[in-house]
Amino acid sequence: MDRLPTSLLYSFCGLLWDDCPRTVRILSLVNSAWYDACVPHIYSKISFRLESDTGLREELIEIHKNPLRKQCLTYTGILTLDGAFIREGKDDEETKRLSRVKANLLDNLAKREADICSASDLSPPFDRYFASDKHEAEIYEDWTSPRWDPLVAFISELQHLVELNYDCLNAFPPGILVALHEHHPSCRLSVNTFRLRSLNEPKTDHHEIDLLRSPCLHAINDFNEEAARAAVAIAPNLKHVRLQKCMPKFKGTWKGFIPPLQHGQVGQKRELTTLSLSGYGNSVHGDKPRQWGEVVDLSKLVSLSLPFQHATLKDILLGSRFDALEKLDMNIALRCGIAEQQQVIDVFFNELPPLKALRLRGAIDHGLIETAMTRHGPTLLELQLHPFKPGLTIRSTADYSSLTPSVLETVAELCPLLEQLDVNIPRSSGDRTETSYYEAISKFQRLKHIHLHLYYSMEPLQRVEDIEEPLDDFDKQTYDAANGRDNDVSVRIVNIPERPQVDLCAVHVRDVFMNAAVDSTLARSIWDTIVSSTPRQNLQTLRIYPHISQAHIMPSSIITKIEHMERAFKVEWEGYGSEVDITELCGRIRERRDAKEKAFEARMVAKWGPLEDERDGDRKIMRRIWPERAHYLDWRDRWCSLPLQRTGRSCE
């Protein structure tokens, strides 16, 4: 292949880059021909997390000084910006407060789950950016600040920028917009933290109008639906609109642009590619598609996201067609009129053209899965199935009655082309039930990327008498008794009228510890189980996110241990053989938290002596689960994940 023209090698690397960037990086080391073909792909994307102007300047200086990194000026086509510039404090007290705000912001950015499939098209993570902008001016640097100048200069230097994704919490700086117009007039700009800040001002800010009317503006996220529809009418090249929840500073109704735009400035009916209404939760009513149909040609939509309501689907069936639709996201909040709902769902899915991406969340039942997969399974490339019980909070009510291993195997048969899968899996200490889910996933023959959300809920607490497995006297006793207390009122679960009152017992704590224990060994075992049945190596990445739902009232010592043990991991194929990289996601955040807790514990021991109350009970429970690790002094070293299909409780 070394003798092939560079253009062919370049095209070959482009195909590889989408699936396995590591392989392209390895090929770049073969010889100069491969290097020349690989480099444009290796430096095709660059991202900056804005934390401080000093850090940004140092990063940009390094790019200009390093001959290898300097190639990004030539080849970068996609630039992503996130984070935030926090304004400088006026005094020491305010500086400390803003430093804490900044630290929390960066931790939250690090914790966010990298979504699978077409996340940006279908349903953005709505709490990723902000829940409220009430104190924006008190925290974030102004959009006209000179701190943006180095970034503006860098954007001006890029030679082939075609896409800019702006995820920063600061308002979009006018200087960047000017740089795009002057140097990259065809660049697609996505402002994922967009909102009209001057809604209730006497006059609409001219910078916001300039941004909306920019030919570069390609995508926005907003929380005001009326303003978003107005933006669609005046933005010449806007293709993606996603609505999200927010507690806005300005809560007034939309009054239009002030002063009103002159006649002729408002465009005709627009052709959006993406419309996401899921960010409004379940408040999207049946007339919403009709309202959007007044400004948008719905038949040209490629991606649609909306919460399910009976009236919504009926309205869509009566008045809208989605001839170009390829990607659909539905959040089904409540089951209603089962027979009638099933009929409407059947008609809705059968009327749609064959989909390439489908995301179903909420009250998913067998009928819905069967209908959707029968119609669209043969063409699906991306699939998300997140079943939850209707009407309750997500973290505590994951529902697996409709997504069993046998159902997953059926889905695998109906989706022969599927490349990306995102599903909820019930944790059960790595037993045969849990392992059967991973074995079912191995039936998908072409999967490249998998996201697994491992759920375990302590609620509702089972009575000891109802637990089927044999228990000894220690397991049966209340948690307080395990700690040597006479009473048990401190951890009595709150009485719920429709649910019997149950005491927190040692067996409950044992089970939550066993299911919270997720380490790199378990991550590798899950990977090996999934790839063991595939005829060839297709899987590129596996992400594992544990979700432990605790009992209503829990002692802090148990919560601390759960948070320490429930770890998220990314397993990534290295591009050859069976070698993989296993990375703990947000590991540094956990290590900082551990260090603070250790320092606090040391101070308490120095002041009060060894702790013999509830922490001693935790030690007893952990010792019974992991006896071979009981010799470690720190409880953080006394645990490990339980092996899949275990015959014993070994940590090897």
How big is the chain by its Cα radius of gyration, in Å? 27
| Percent of the chain residues topping a pLDDT of 90 | 42
More confident call, 250 vs 568: 568
- Residue 56: is its pLDDT beyond 60? yes
Q: What is the pLDDT of residue 245?
A: 66
Whether 139 and 170 have beta carbons less than 8 Å apart is answered as no
70-74, 252-256, 317-321, 643-647 — which one is most confidently predicted on average? Answer: 70-74
Q: Which residues in 154-259 belong to E strands, given as ranges?
A: 163-166, 188-191, 217-222, 240-243
What angle is formed at CA 62 by the lines to CA 59 and CA 65, rounded to 5 degrees? 155
Q: Which of 47-61, 246-260, 536-550, 555-569 has the lowest mean pLDDT?
A: 246-260
Beta bridge partners of 530: none
Interval 403-459: pLDDT, tens: 899 999 999 999 999 999 999 999 999 999 999 999 999 999 999 999 999 999 887
Give the containing element (helix H, strand E) for 83. strand 78-83
| Alpha-carbon distances, residue 203 vs 208, 229, 260 (angstroms) | 11, 19, 10
Whether 118 and 419 have beta carbons less than 8 Å apart is answered as no
Interval 127-147: pLDDT, tens: 444 455 556 667 888 888 999
Whether 168 and 193 have beta carbons less than 8 Å apart is answered as yes
Interval 349-399: pLDDT, tens: 888 999 999 999 888 888 889 999 999 999 999 999 998 765 444 444 566
Residue 265: other Cβ atoms inside 10 A: 12
Q: What is the pLDDT of residue 491?
A: 47
Strand, coil or helix: 356 = coil
Please state the separation of Cα 503 from the chain's center in Å.
35
**How far is Cα 414 from Cα 577, in angstroms, rounded to an integer?**
29
Please state, rounded to an integer, the average pLDDT across all residues of the chain.
Answer: 83
Q: What is the pLDDT of residue 582?
A: 96
Give the containing element (helix H, strand E) for 34. helix 32-42
- Residue partners of 222: CB distance under 8 A and separation at least 6: 194, 195, 196, 228, 231, 241, 242, 243, 244
pLDDT-derived band at 499, boundaries 50, 70, 90: low
DSSP string, 550-617: PPSS--HHHHHHHHHHB-EEEEEE-SSTT-EEEEEETHHHHHHHHHHHHHHHHHHHHHH-S--SHHHH
**Side-chain half-sphere exposure of 552, counting CA atoms within 13 A:** 13
**Side-chain half-sphere exposure of 128, counting CA atoms within 13 A:** 23
**How far is Cα 191 from Cα 198, in angstroms, rounded to an integer?**
17
Q: Which of 42-51, 363-372, 508-517, 607-616 has the lowest mean pLDDT?
A: 607-616
- Residue 214: is its pLDDT beyond 70? yes
Whether 365 and 335 have beta carbons less than 8 Å apart is answered as yes
Helices (H), 158-223: 174-183, 206-212
Whether 180 and 155 have beta carbons less than 8 Å apart is answered as yes
Interval 510-532: pLDDT, tens: 999 999 999 999 999 999 999 98
- Residue written as token pair 């703990």: 584
Q: What is the pLDDT of residue 77?
A: 96
- Residue 602: is its pLDDT beyond 90? no
More confident call, 358 vs 613: 358
Please provide the size of the chain in residues.
652
Nearest Cα to Cα of residue 328 among 292, 296, 298, 360 = 360
Q: What is the pLDDT of residue 612?
A: 55
Q: What is the pLDDT of residue 483?
A: 81
Q: Residue 609 — φ and ψ, nearest 5°?
A: 90, 180
| Percent of the chain residues topping a pLDDT of 70 | 81
| Alpha-carbon distances, residue 14 vs 23, 371, 396, 498, 612 (angstroms) | 11, 36, 43, 58, 61
Whether 492 and 501 have beta carbons less than 8 Å apart is answered as yes
3 state SS for 134-164: CCHHHHECCCCCHHHHHHHHHHHHCCCCCEE
Q: Which of 204-218, 236-250, 282-296, 422-436 has the lowest mean pLDDT?
A: 282-296
Give the containing element (helix H, strand E) for 520. helix 520-531
163-177, 277-291, 458-472 — which one is most confidently predicted on average? Answer: 163-177
Amino acid at 143: W
Q: What is the pLDDT of residue 411?
A: 96
- Residue 264: is its pLDDT beyond 50? no
Q: For the residues 220-244, what does the mean pLDDT come to?
A: 86
Q: Which of 111-125, 206-220, 537-551 has the lowest mean pLDDT?
A: 111-125
| Alpha-carbon distances, residue 481 vs 16, 478, 494, 623 (angstroms) | 59, 5, 19, 17
Query: What are the boundaries of each domain within the chain?
Result: 464-637
- Residue partners of 136: CB distance under 8 A and separation at least 6: 169, 171, 197, 249
Q: What is the pLDDT of residue 615?
A: 67
